[in-house]
Structure 1
Amino acid sequence: MKLTRREILKSFLGLPFILKACRFEQDIAGLTGEILGADAKVGHLIRDYSAPEVIDENIENKAVVIVGGGIAGLTAAWKFKKSNFHDFVLLELEPRIGGTAQSGRNSFISYPWGAHYLPVPLKENQPLIDLLNEMGLTEGRDERGEVLIKEEYLCRYPEERIFYRGRWYEGLYPHIGESERDKQELAEFQKKIDFWVNWRDSSGRRAFTLPVANCSDDAETSSLDKISFSEWLRMQGFSSERLLWYCNYACRDDYGLTIDETSAWAGLFYFCSRVRESGDEAQPFITFPEGNGYFVDYFYSKVKEHVRLKAAVVEIITNDNDVTVVYLDVVEQKYRAIKAKMAIFAAPMFTARFVIRDFKENPPDYLKEFEHNCWFVANLTLKDRPKSRFQQDFPLSWDNVIYDSPSLGYVCATHQKCIDYGPTVFTYYHPMGNSKESRMKLFSLGWEELVDIILMDLSRAHKDINSLVERIDIMRWGHAMISPRPAFVRSQALRKAQKPYRNIFFANTDLSGVALFEEAFFHGNRAADEILRIIRHQNL
């Protein structure tokens, strides 16, 4: 049954918008845009593939096949090239490389379609620092040995603002009007964070760091994964509405989940993993107009000749000696196959049971533990900036958050280019959780209905948004990122999934339980290193 406009707005934006929707109809005449992203027909073809014969002339040989062109797959390909290994191919389903880190561009600026920043890594994360050095983003070390990033690549001021009770304020925590109890709880929360930042196990490992593989597996830290973040907050005696909102925003921002749905381990990881020691600020952000698409473009420039786009992998057949990867060449509508010694599966884990033949017939128990949440992202092209309501409003920033919105607000693509007047692009993020119902609801709506949701939501803070926006493009991510729910992040399921299956090696952020660039980079490097060691041993 088709939902009414009121029902859609209530479902996406909350009860207060029902009355407003009755009084206000969106005028989108003259507004252009489209829904971009994965072709559902190709996805269903992968799911329903019935194994037709691939003719000999469409079969080739390679040493390694990489399945998936997100950050993990691109990292593995980059690692191979750096190691002077060239006998590989990367297959990517989409016409664009990069997965959830891909970007777009209009006539005047690039913009992200997903991940849009990278915190400066701590000095222990040398492989990632090596990448930043190679890309020319660094300028030495400070007195503590921490890497320094060139100023033009660090998020410029003003960085963040929040729309709260009709006004824009600096930062993401709403200090205005806070009570003494609010202040006390925020200070006490910071003490808890400081405790975990400074915590070390008997081997000297931190409780929370990047990559996750370097975190302590001590029982004291692992037990945090058994409860939700909201449970942990209640156990510490926290009840401040502002603090709970702030923690909830943090979980929705990084994981697409609420504090009720997020593991306490993952909630604390958000606040602790990017802080060197108590008293320090969190690591600054490296960002670009196109977000992490900047890294995608760099990797792609290094491995482009090994990449095949619009290559939908439909089956992976493995035995003790080799692996055959069958894919649909979407452009030519032909099935092709690659026979290889080894493969890297760098696609989301939920797809493994649809394409790995042995998993179709007998899926490992751990696969059912992998749950992904859905999002939609929109890029709004504006002919000018929204006007501030009050002279004292904090100005347009890189990250702009609306306190009472179920969305995450938007980032401003022109901010990092110091373009502070005239046309711009706002990238709007709306997480929807990991339920099947949420996914069905998202994909049941068309462009006009999603545009209505976006403009109504942004009108909370920008009354003139309709008169300024010229185009809205939308991308729906049905399985955007892994869900770090309780009892998953430190589970045996994750440990089992990281092990190779015969000659298939796995590499994606799912294997860390948190969907971050640093984790994709780590697993891409790890899988490539494992294969390179085998190849070197065989060549001895």
Structure 2
Amino acid sequence: MELTRRELIAAFLGSAVASACKREPARAPIPGAVVDRAVEVGHKLRGGPLPRAQTVEPVDVLVVGAGVAGLSAAWRLMGAGVKDVRMVELEAEAGGTSRSGRNAVSAFPWGAHYLPAPLEDKGPVVRLLREMGAVTGVDAEGRPTFEETLLIQEPEERHYYRGHWYEGLYLRVGATPEDLAELERFDTRMNAFAAAKDAKGRKAFAVPTAHSSDDAEWTALDALSMADWLTREGFRSSRLKWLVDYACRDDYGATSEHISAWAGIWYFAARQDGHGERSEGFLSWPEGNGRLVHQLRSALPPRVLERDVLVHTVEPGEHGCRVDALDARTGQPRSFQARQVVLACPRFLAAHVVAPWRTARPGWMEAFSYAPWVVANLTLSTPPESRGFPLAWDNVFQESKSLGYVVATHQQLRQYERGPTVLTWYLPMSGGDVKAERQKSLSATYEDWEALVMADMRPAHPGITQQVQRLEVMRWGHAMVRPTPGFMWGAARKAAQESLGRSLHFAHTDLGGLALFEEANWFGVKAAERVLAELGQPSSSWL
């Protein structure tokens, strides 16, 4: 049954947004398109047997997948001097959900749009930032300092509520003394979690997650949801619950009732020093984490990466792995014989690709769940008008299921000018049934997305319809792994990290349980160092 416009908006964005919508005068459609290949890409893996090439191409190391994890693996291998490295990627562009785009106005993100400034001067992320000239030095406490132009300019955050914009993410206007007392108590608890260490000196909540303490005192939090933890601890304020829900939707693609309490607390505690300070804040670029992708890519010779290659079978053997693929443009089969393979794709794809798993699917596979997302980029002739606190980098709608939008041109200080700009709008499909959410996102047409994005934007920016010059939509069917209760410290995630034999190694952000750049980078480097060990070329770890 076809939904009415109001029903469509309520289904995707919530009843509050639907109620705020007023009928628009007739207008010309906004030029644009759905630009992803979400339906066709990868679904070829679900068909029957695919052909194998008669000629096999030998290679020392084959990296399958050019998202952040795969690029990080190749970056580490190149750093160790491995010469014979090949990387194949199904998409036309590298970067996965950290990809970016560009038009005549600005570069813009198609997914991840910032990197929290690292607290410590060690690890592969800081190494990468040093390579790109983002680190300017080390302060008196041994923490890295960063190029000032990369730190988010003020104003950083604002949110929209019933006709006005307010500073920050927490709605202080109209808050009762009880609301504010709960916020203070919550912040105190998060600071305590941030400062907590175990007997071995490990932080209870660390970046990356692999550096976190595995003491039961902390990991027991993984057994319940973040919503249940709030209830157990006596937090009742609707404003605080909204803030926590926003955090879970922002980083994990689901509401607090579907997210592990350990992961929910990690969001607030892992990236700060125990005093509520998040180091120097966030690093960002107009193209978001696409800049980090470019840096990783620039470390690789052009010959290393091949795009439009669909790998359909990885078969471990006595002397390495046979890898069968299709040229996605011509349909011609390709085959490789690799001494070592890094399979840098999510588990749900690995289940179709790793030959032994097709007949004996690992039991841990069912523990992995992925949230779909939709990202839209709007090119505007001028910055949007609004009432209240001025345009910020991150602009959140209090009563919408979307996360609002970021301003791609913010770091260029264009929001203070009258020139064109690009706004990047985010919608996590955060319902509990991920399959239903995925189908809903993929079934919506461009006309549906135009109606949804504008319905979300128009109450806060009444004149925006006349300012939008183009709208482009990207659907991510399996955008990020969900750290559901029991997942972060359960047996499944640990088992999934193990190599298969001595030649097949795995790397992806889902192995860390959190869909974050730091996790993908860490697991990519870890897989590469396993490869180096098997090749007899061990070196000092970057981890």
TM-score by length of 2: 0.95
- State yes or no: 1:212 paired with 2:206: no
Match of 2:332 in 1: 334
Distance in 2 between the 1:382 and 1:238 partners? 41
Find the residue that maps to 1:40 and give its secondary structure: coil
* Structure 1 pair 473–27 and aligned structure 2 pair: CA distance change class (3 A): farther
**Residue 173 and residue 124 in structure 1: after superposition, are their counterparts in 2 closer, same or farther (change >3 A)?**
same
Contact 1:49 1:314 survives alignment (8 Å): no
Contact 1:47–1:355 (Cα < 8 Å) also in 2: no
Q: Distance in 1 between matches of 2:240 and 2:16?
A: 23
Paired residue type of 1:102? R
Q: Letter of the aligned partner of 1:46 in structure 2?
A: L
Q: Give the alignment of 1:497-536 within 5 angstroms.
A: 497-502=496-501, 503-536=503-536
Give the 3 Å change call, closer, same or farther, for CA 384–27 of structure 1 in structure 2: farther
Q: Which residue type is aligned with residue 246 of structure 2?
A: Y
Measured against aligned partners, the alpha-carbon deviations of 1:16-57 in whole angstroms (never above 9, x if no partner) come to 455555x5147552521111122523422122141323122x
Indicate how the Cα distance of structure 1 residues 350 and 498 shifts in structure 2: closer, same or farther if over 3 A, else same: same
Does 2:38 align with 1:43? no
- The residue that corresponds to 2:79 in the other structure is 82
Distance in 2 (alpha carbons) for counterparts of 1:129 and 1:53: 42
* Aligned positions of 1:51-130 closer than 5 A: 51-56=50-55, 59-123=56-120, 125-130=122-127
Q: Distance between the aligned counterparts of 1:362 and 1:28, measured in 2? A: 56
Matched, 1:488 2:483: no
| Stretch deviating more after TM superposition (4-13 or 451-460) | 4-13
Partner of 2:230: 233
Q: Judging changes above 3 Å, is the alpha-carbon distance between structure 1 residues 538 and 188 closer, same or farther for their aligned structure 2 residues? A: closer
Q: 1:364 aligns with which of 343, 362, 365?
A: 362
Distance (Å, rounded) in 2 between the aligned partners of 1:174 and 1:249: 12
Give CA-to-partner distance per residue, 1:345-373, whole Å, 9 cap, x none. 11111101111111111111111111000
CA distance in 2, matches of 1:63, 1:112: 34
Q: Structure 1 residues 4 and 320 mapped into 2: Cα distance closer, same or farther (>3 Å)? A: farther
Q: CA deviation at 1:504?
A: 1.1
Distance in 2 of aligned mates of 1:298 and 1:16: 42
Residue number in structure 2 paired with 1:168: 165
Residue 413 of structure 2 corresponds to: 418
**Residues 210-249 of structure 1, C-alpha deviations (whole Å, 9 max, x = no match):** 0111000000111000000011111111111111101110
Query: Structure 1 residues 455 and 27 mapped into 2: Cα distance closer, same or farther (>3 Å)?
Result: farther
Aligned partner of 2:307 in structure 1 is 309
> Mapping of 1:352-501 within 5 angstroms?
352-389=350-387, 393-420=388-415, 421=417, 422-433=419-430, 435-501=434-500
Q: State the AA in 1 paired with 2:33.
A: E
Contact 2:67 2:95 in 1 (8 A): yes
CA distance 1:461–1:453, shift in 2 (3 Å): same
Distance 1:26 1:270, change over 3 A: farther
Structural RMSD (CA):
1.6
Q: Hey, what does 1:320 align to over in structure 2? A: 318
Distance 2:16 2:23 in 1: 13
1:275·1:283 contact (CA, 8 Å) conserved in 2? no
Q: Distance between the aligned counterparts of 1:443 and 1:404, measured in 2?
A: 24
Aligned residue for 1:260, secondary structure, equals helix
8 A contact 1:323–1:341 mirrored in 2: yes
1:364-400, CA deviations, whole angstroms, 9 ceiling, x for partnerless residues?
11111110000100000001112123xxx11111100
Structure 2: 5+ residue stretches without partners: none
Separation of aligned partners in 2, 1:333 and 1:510:
30
The answer to whether residue 247 in structure 2 is matched with residue 250 in structure 1 is: yes
> Which ranges in structure 1 are unaligned for 5 or more consecutive residues?
none
Cα 1:27–1:450 shift into 2, 3 Å: farther
Whether the 8 Å contact between 2:154 and 2:392 is mirrored in structure 1 is yes
Superposed CA deviations along residues 310-355 of structure 1, whole A, max 9, x for unmatched, are 1111111112321111111112221101110111111111101111
Secondary structure in 2 aligned to 1:90? strand
| Aligned residue identity for 1:405 | S
CA distance in 2, matches of 1:28, 1:307: 45
Q: 3-state DSSP class of the match of 1:318?
A: strand
Q: Does residue 147 of structure 1 match 2:144?
A: yes
Q: What is the CA–CA distance in structure 2 between the aligned matches of 1:20 and 1:273, rounded to whole Å?
A: 37
CA–CA separation in structure 2 for the residues paired with 1:42 and 1:235? 44
CA contact (8 A) 1:366 1:494 kept: yes
1:348 is aligned to 346
In 2, distance between residues paired with 1:122 and 1:537?
Answer: 31
Aligned length: 533
